[in-house]
Amino acid sequence: MKDEKEPKESRTVAEKEAPDEDGPLTKEMFTAQLHELTERARAAGLNPIRLLVQAYRKQGAVIFKSLLDSLGNEDSPKKKG
């Protein structure tokens, strides 16, 4: 009798489908990896869409603030030489 347990595979589906070469991903491989990542995030209790929207909202707020700051600096009087 064997008491040894077989180790579980830690490779993902996308990794198993990936070619051994270091070439670019195909559309199908990219889609599979993205789908698996989304499913893993949901399984971990995350909402990927909500996180994406929050990240874009923060980035948009920073861009908007920078734009307002740059417009505010143009109102200062320029030195005449």
Does residue 24 carry a pLDDT above 80? yes
pLDDT tens digit sequence for 11-20: 666 666 665 6
pLDDT tens digit sequence for 34-79: 999 989 988 998 888 898 899 999 999 999 999 999 988 765 555 5
pTM of the model: 0.43
Query: Is 20 a domain residue?
Result: no
Instruction: Assess contact for 47 and 62: CB atoms under 8 A.
Output: no
- Count of domains observed in the chain: 1
Range of the domain at 55: 48-73
Distance of alpha carbon 28 from alpha carbon 14, whole angstroms: 10
Residue 26 has φ and ψ, to the nearest 5°, of: -85, 165
Query: Is 35 a domain residue?
Result: no
Query: Is 65 a domain residue?
Result: yes
Query: Is 8 a domain residue?
Result: no
What's the pLDDT score for residue 13? 66
Residues near 33 by beta carbon (within 8 Å), at least 6 away in sequence:
12, 14, 25
Query: Is 64 a domain residue?
Result: yes
